[in-house]
Amino acid sequence: MNLSEPLEGLTSAVEGAVLRVLARADVGFSGRQVHALARVGSTSSVHRALAGLVRVGLVTAESRPPSIIYRINRHHVLWPVIDQALSSRARAFDSVREFCADDLPEELGLTVVVYGSVARRDSGLDSDLDLFVVYPDGIDDDARAEFNYQIAQHVERVTGNEAQVFSVERTELADRIDENDPFIENVLADGILIFGPPIGAGAGRAA
């Protein structure tokens, strides 16, 4: 699934983005405003998507010359389904968090961070979910490999996406931070903390 635009695959990428924009707001937008906020497709493709959603009743259109103002219709019988689908990114992250909480002793101090295209919200249907896992020093190699495998399997079960797991121990992480490692800097800049203690100022932002 596209964890940046969860409705893609169930509907077109443009329609999914339009629904996301309108669902997040309590005010209406013109077609041009929707296009600017959706950051996908062309102005004409966004207007076509809006027209289709108005036709099925999920979006309302109010004439306010020179514009038409569009709003999500939260009374529509399909709205609860759309609302659930739009929240699936957060629920996927919650599922990974719960998996870690159920599978790991709290005192272990393991950290799991989502980074890469999913964290930046520029992933697609075929994108992997990139996980950065920080283990305590001296973790057993077999235990580390097994958890990496199990968390990747869990991600695929709940999202359909493959997971790429990159893991380090805490001392190695500290050394690479001191060395201004570009990869670690990207993780810290883009990363979303899913589980465990934070690893830096950046990797703890909202999902």
HEC string of 81-130?
HHHHHHCHHHHHHHHHHHHHHHHCCHHHCCEEEEECHHHHCCCCCCCCEE
Q: At 158, which CATH number?
A: 3.30.460.10
Average pLDDT, whole number, for the chain? 93
170: in domain: yes
Query: Do 43 and 105 share a structural domain?
Result: no
Digit-coded pLDDT (tens) for 40-86: 999 999 999 999 999 999 999 999 999 999 999 999 999 999 999 99
177: in domain: yes
Confidence of residue 203 (pLDDT cuts 50, 70, 90): low
* Cβ(130)–Cβ(93) below 8 Å: no
Query: Do 96 and 142 share a structural domain?
Result: yes
Angle at which helices 88-103 and 79-86 pack, to 10 degrees? 50
Write down the pLDDT at residue 101: 92
End of a domain among 68, 85, 102? 85
Query: Do 25 and 111 share a structural domain?
Result: no
Both tokens of 100, joined, read 């870690």
Query: Do 189 and 107 share a structural domain?
Result: yes
Residue 123's domain spans which residues? 88-195
End of a domain among 85, 117, 144? 85
> Per DSSP, what are the bridge partners of residue 112?
133, 195
Among candidate residues 81, 98, 90, 113, the one with its CA nearest the CA of residue 159: 90
Query: Do 102 and 62 share a structural domain?
Result: no
47: in domain: yes
Write down the pLDDT at residue 85: 94
Query: Do 117 and 80 share a structural domain?
Result: no
Asked if omega into 6 is within 30° of 0 (cis), the reply is: no
Give pTM, 2 decimals. 0.84
CA dihedral 104, 105, 110, 114 (to 10 degrees): 40
Least confident of 57-66, 102-111, 159-168, 182-191: 102-111
200: in domain: no
The tally of domains found in the chain comes to 2
70: in domain: yes
Q: What is the arithmetic mean of pLDDT over 117-130?
A: 95
Q: How far apart are CA 172 and CA 147, in angstroms?
A: 19
Terminal CA-to-CA distance of the chain, rounded, Å? Answer: 16
- Of residues 109 and 94, more confidently modeled: 94
Digit-coded pLDDT (tens) for 147-177: 999 999 999 999 999 999 999 999 999 999 9
Q: What angle do CA 146, 151, 153 make, to 5 degrees?
A: 95
Q: What is the arithmetic mean of pLDDT over 130-135?
A: 97
Least confident of 9-13, 155-159, 164-168, 186-190: 9-13
Query: Do 107 and 49 share a structural domain?
Result: no
φ, ψ at 38 (rounded to 5°): -75, -30
Q: How far apart are CA 17 and CA 24, in angstroms?
A: 11
φ, ψ at 158 (rounded to 5°): -90, -15
Query: Do 152 and 125 share a structural domain?
Result: yes
Query: Do 109 and 78 share a structural domain?
Result: no
Among candidate residues 98, 159, 100, the one with its CA nearest the CA of residue 128: 159
116: in domain: yes
Q: At 41, which CATH number?
A: 1.10.10.10
Write down the pLDDT at residue 71: 98
Query: Do 166 and 72 share a structural domain?
Result: no
End of a domain among 26, 50, 85? 85
Query: Do 175 and 120 share a structural domain?
Result: yes
146: in domain: yes
Confidence of residue 199 (pLDDT cuts 50, 70, 90): confident
7: in domain: no
